[in-house]
Structure 1
Amino acid sequence: MIYHITFREDWEKAKANGEYVTESLHKEGFIHCSESAQVAGVLDRYYAGKKGLVKLTIDPAKLSSRLIHEWSPSTLDTFPHIYGPINLDAVVEVEQLN
Protein backbone atom coordinates (compact mmCIF):
# COMPACT_ATOMS: atom_id res chain seq x y z
CA MET A 1 0.00 0.00 0.00
CA ILE A 2 1.00 3.62 -0.52
CA TYR A 3 -0.40 6.73 1.13
CA HIS A 4 -1.42 10.26 0.25
CA ILE A 5 -2.23 13.07 2.68
CA THR A 6 -4.89 15.55 1.66
CA PHE A 7 -7.59 17.79 3.05
CA ARG A 8 -10.99 16.26 3.74
CA GLU A 9 -12.67 18.82 1.46
CA ASP A 10 -10.41 17.85 -1.46
CA TRP A 11 -11.28 14.19 -0.96
CA GLU A 12 -14.98 15.07 -0.92
CA LYS A 13 -14.54 16.95 -4.23
CA ALA A 14 -12.80 13.91 -5.69
CA LYS A 15 -15.70 11.66 -4.75
CA ALA A 16 -18.09 14.05 -6.48
CA ASN A 17 -15.84 14.27 -9.58
CA GLY A 18 -15.13 10.55 -9.86
CA GLU A 19 -11.33 10.85 -9.55
CA TYR A 20 -8.73 12.50 -7.35
CA VAL A 21 -6.34 15.11 -8.76
CA THR A 22 -3.98 17.58 -7.11
CA GLU A 23 -2.33 20.86 -7.99
CA SER A 24 0.98 18.97 -8.19
CA LEU A 25 -0.44 16.79 -10.96
CA HIS A 26 -1.01 19.90 -13.07
CA LYS A 27 2.28 21.62 -12.11
CA GLU A 28 4.71 18.70 -11.75
CA GLY A 29 2.94 15.96 -13.68
CA PHE A 30 2.38 13.60 -10.74
CA ILE A 31 0.69 13.15 -7.37
CA HIS A 32 3.04 12.85 -4.39
CA CYS A 33 2.58 9.73 -2.26
CA SER A 34 4.46 8.02 0.55
CA GLU A 35 5.38 4.64 1.89
CA SER A 36 4.12 3.89 5.39
CA ALA A 37 7.40 4.85 7.09
CA GLN A 38 7.45 8.20 5.26
CA VAL A 39 4.00 9.47 6.29
CA ALA A 40 5.10 11.02 9.60
CA GLY A 41 7.86 12.99 7.89
CA VAL A 42 5.49 14.26 5.22
CA LEU A 43 3.05 15.38 7.89
CA ASP A 44 5.83 17.20 9.77
CA ARG A 45 7.33 18.86 6.67
CA TYR A 46 4.21 19.93 4.80
CA TYR A 47 1.16 19.77 7.07
CA ALA A 48 2.29 20.97 10.50
CA GLY A 49 -0.55 22.85 12.16
CA LYS A 50 -3.03 22.10 9.35
CA LYS A 51 -6.51 20.83 10.20
CA GLY A 52 -9.04 18.71 8.33
CA LEU A 53 -6.53 16.16 7.03
CA VAL A 54 -7.16 12.63 5.84
CA LYS A 55 -4.77 9.86 4.86
CA LEU A 56 -5.71 7.94 1.73
CA THR A 57 -4.55 4.33 1.60
CA ILE A 58 -4.01 3.41 -2.04
CA ASP A 59 -3.68 -0.08 -3.47
CA PRO A 60 -1.10 0.23 -6.27
CA ALA A 61 -2.51 -2.86 -8.02
CA LYS A 62 -5.80 -1.02 -8.54
CA LEU A 63 -4.36 2.22 -9.97
CA SER A 64 -5.26 3.06 -13.53
CA SER A 65 -2.49 5.70 -13.68
CA ARG A 66 1.21 4.88 -13.79
CA LEU A 67 3.09 4.57 -10.47
CA ILE A 68 6.83 5.29 -10.40
CA HIS A 69 9.13 5.30 -7.36
CA GLU A 70 11.51 8.23 -7.72
CA TRP A 71 14.42 9.70 -5.81
CA SER A 72 13.85 12.95 -3.93
CA PRO A 73 17.11 14.87 -3.50
CA SER A 74 15.53 17.17 -0.91
CA THR A 75 14.82 14.28 1.50
CA LEU A 76 17.38 11.75 0.21
CA ASP A 77 14.69 9.11 -0.12
CA THR A 78 12.62 7.39 -2.82
CA PHE A 79 8.91 8.23 -2.96
CA PRO A 80 5.99 6.81 -4.95
CA HIS A 81 4.59 9.21 -7.56
CA ILE A 82 1.34 8.67 -9.45
CA TYR A 83 1.43 10.04 -13.00
CA GLY A 84 -2.24 10.77 -13.52
CA PRO A 85 -5.47 10.96 -11.56
CA ILE A 86 -6.17 8.50 -8.76
CA ASN A 87 -9.19 6.37 -9.60
CA LEU A 88 -11.47 6.19 -6.56
CA ASP A 89 -11.59 2.39 -6.40
CA ALA A 90 -7.80 2.35 -5.81
CA VAL A 91 -8.40 4.15 -2.49
CA VAL A 92 -9.11 1.31 -0.09
CA GLU A 93 -9.23 3.32 3.15
CA VAL A 94 -9.64 6.94 4.24
CA GLU A 95 -8.41 7.75 7.73
CA GLN A 96 -9.33 11.00 9.47
CA LEU A 97 -6.12 12.47 10.93
CA ASN A 98 -7.44 15.50 12.80
Structure 2
Amino acid sequence: MILRISPRDDWSRDREAGAIPLDPDGFVHCSDPGTVHLPANRLFHGRADLVLLQVDPDGLPVLWEPGETEDGPWFPHVYGPIPTDAVVAVHEFAPDGAGTFHPLPVL
Protein backbone atom coordinates (compact mmCIF):
# COMPACT_ATOMS: atom_id res chain seq x y z
CA MET A 1 0.00 0.00 0.00
CA ILE A 2 1.03 3.58 -0.62
CA LEU A 3 -0.29 6.74 1.01
CA ARG A 4 -1.51 10.05 -0.35
CA ILE A 5 -1.82 13.06 1.99
CA SER A 6 -4.97 15.00 1.22
CA PRO A 7 -6.92 17.85 2.77
CA ARG A 8 -10.44 16.58 3.53
CA ASP A 9 -12.02 19.05 1.09
CA ASP A 10 -9.73 17.89 -1.74
CA TRP A 11 -10.55 14.24 -1.03
CA SER A 12 -14.27 15.04 -1.09
CA ARG A 13 -13.88 16.79 -4.46
CA ASP A 14 -11.69 14.00 -5.88
CA ARG A 15 -14.07 11.30 -4.68
CA GLU A 16 -16.94 13.07 -6.42
CA ALA A 17 -14.87 13.40 -9.62
CA GLY A 18 -13.85 9.72 -9.46
CA ALA A 19 -10.07 10.23 -9.45
CA ILE A 20 -7.18 11.95 -7.72
CA PRO A 21 -5.71 14.23 -10.42
CA LEU A 22 -2.05 14.70 -11.27
CA ASP A 23 -0.08 17.22 -9.24
CA PRO A 24 1.37 20.18 -11.20
CA ASP A 25 4.67 18.33 -11.79
CA GLY A 26 2.96 15.58 -13.80
CA PHE A 27 2.40 12.78 -11.28
CA VAL A 28 0.59 12.11 -8.00
CA HIS A 29 2.95 12.41 -5.01
CA CYS A 30 2.61 9.54 -2.54
CA SER A 31 4.53 8.15 0.43
CA ASP A 32 4.79 5.08 2.60
CA PRO A 33 4.20 4.87 6.38
CA GLY A 34 7.88 5.48 7.16
CA THR A 35 8.24 8.58 4.99
CA VAL A 36 4.81 10.22 5.03
CA HIS A 37 5.82 12.56 7.87
CA LEU A 38 8.55 14.18 5.70
CA PRO A 39 6.31 15.82 3.08
CA ALA A 40 3.62 16.36 5.72
CA ASN A 41 5.96 18.49 7.82
CA ARG A 42 7.38 20.32 4.82
CA LEU A 43 4.05 21.09 3.15
CA PHE A 44 1.35 20.82 5.82
CA HIS A 45 2.97 21.61 9.20
CA GLY A 46 0.30 22.27 11.82
CA ARG A 47 -2.69 21.52 9.58
CA ALA A 48 -5.45 19.54 11.23
CA ASP A 49 -7.68 19.08 8.15
CA LEU A 50 -5.77 16.18 6.58
CA VAL A 51 -6.53 12.56 5.83
CA LEU A 52 -4.28 9.78 4.59
CA LEU A 53 -5.60 7.91 1.61
CA GLN A 54 -4.42 4.31 1.64
CA VAL A 55 -4.01 3.37 -2.02
CA ASP A 56 -3.67 -0.10 -3.50
CA PRO A 57 -0.99 0.44 -6.19
CA ASP A 58 -1.86 -2.73 -8.12
CA GLY A 59 -2.34 -1.77 -11.75
CA LEU A 60 -1.25 1.85 -11.24
CA PRO A 61 1.78 3.33 -13.04
CA VAL A 62 3.95 3.71 -9.91
CA LEU A 63 7.65 4.60 -9.98
CA TRP A 64 9.75 4.85 -6.83
CA GLU A 65 11.96 7.90 -7.21
CA PRO A 66 14.29 9.94 -5.01
CA GLY A 67 12.88 12.82 -3.06
CA GLU A 68 14.94 15.98 -2.80
CA THR A 69 18.29 14.17 -2.86
CA GLU A 70 19.51 10.93 -4.46
CA ASP A 71 20.79 9.65 -1.11
CA GLY A 72 17.58 10.47 0.77
CA PRO A 73 14.37 8.46 0.91
CA TRP A 74 12.59 7.42 -2.26
CA PHE A 75 8.88 8.03 -2.76
CA PRO A 76 6.19 6.36 -4.85
CA HIS A 77 5.02 8.61 -7.68
CA VAL A 78 1.93 7.61 -9.64
CA TYR A 79 2.16 8.66 -13.29
CA GLY A 80 -1.55 8.93 -13.94
CA PRO A 81 -4.69 9.91 -12.07
CA ILE A 82 -5.54 7.54 -9.22
CA PRO A 83 -9.08 6.16 -9.55
CA THR A 84 -10.93 6.59 -6.29
CA ASP A 85 -11.75 2.88 -6.22
CA ALA A 86 -7.99 2.27 -5.68
CA VAL A 87 -8.36 4.04 -2.29
CA VAL A 88 -9.01 1.17 0.11
CA ALA A 89 -9.06 3.17 3.37
CA VAL A 90 -9.10 6.73 4.64
CA HIS A 91 -7.30 7.54 7.91
CA GLU A 92 -7.34 10.70 9.99
CA PHE A 93 -3.92 12.36 9.88
CA ALA A 94 -3.36 14.89 12.62
CA PRO A 95 -0.11 16.43 13.87
CA ASP A 96 0.96 16.41 17.50
CA GLY A 97 0.35 19.40 19.77
CA ALA A 98 3.35 21.23 18.28
CA GLY A 99 2.01 20.79 14.74
CA THR A 100 4.55 18.08 13.85
CA PHE A 101 3.78 14.86 11.97
CA HIS A 102 5.58 11.59 12.81
CA PRO A 103 6.34 8.32 10.99
CA LEU A 104 3.48 5.86 11.09
CA PRO A 105 3.44 2.23 12.00
CA VAL A 106 2.56 -0.03 9.09
CA LEU A 107 -1.16 0.36 8.37
TM (normalized to structure 2)? 0.78
* Greater share of residues in strand: 1
User: Matched residues in 2 for 1:32 and 1:91: separation?
Assistant: 14
User: What letter matches 2:47 in structure 1?
Assistant: K
Tell me the equivalent position of 2:75: 79
Structure 1 or 2, whichever has the larger Rg, is 2
Shift of 1:15: 1.2
Cα deviation digits, residues 13-65 of structure 1 (max 9, x gap): 0111111115x2xx2110110011001222222110123100000111153xx
Matched residue of 1:84: which SS?
A: coil
* Greater displacement, 69-78 / 49-58: 69-78
**Cα-Cα RMSD:** 1.6
Q: Which runs of 5+ in 2 are unaligned?
A: 95-107
1:45 to 42, 50, 57: 42
1:67 paired with 2:74, answer no
Aligned length: 93
User: Matched residues in 1 for 2:25 and 2:68: separation?
Assistant: 15
* Greater share of residues in helix: 1
The percent of aligned pairs where both chains have the same amino acid is: 37
- Moved beyond 6 Å, runs of 4+: none
TM (normalized to structure 1)? 0.85
Q: Which runs of 5+ in 1 are unaligned?
A: none
Matched residue of 1:61: which SS?
A: coil
Tell me the equivalent position of 2:100: none
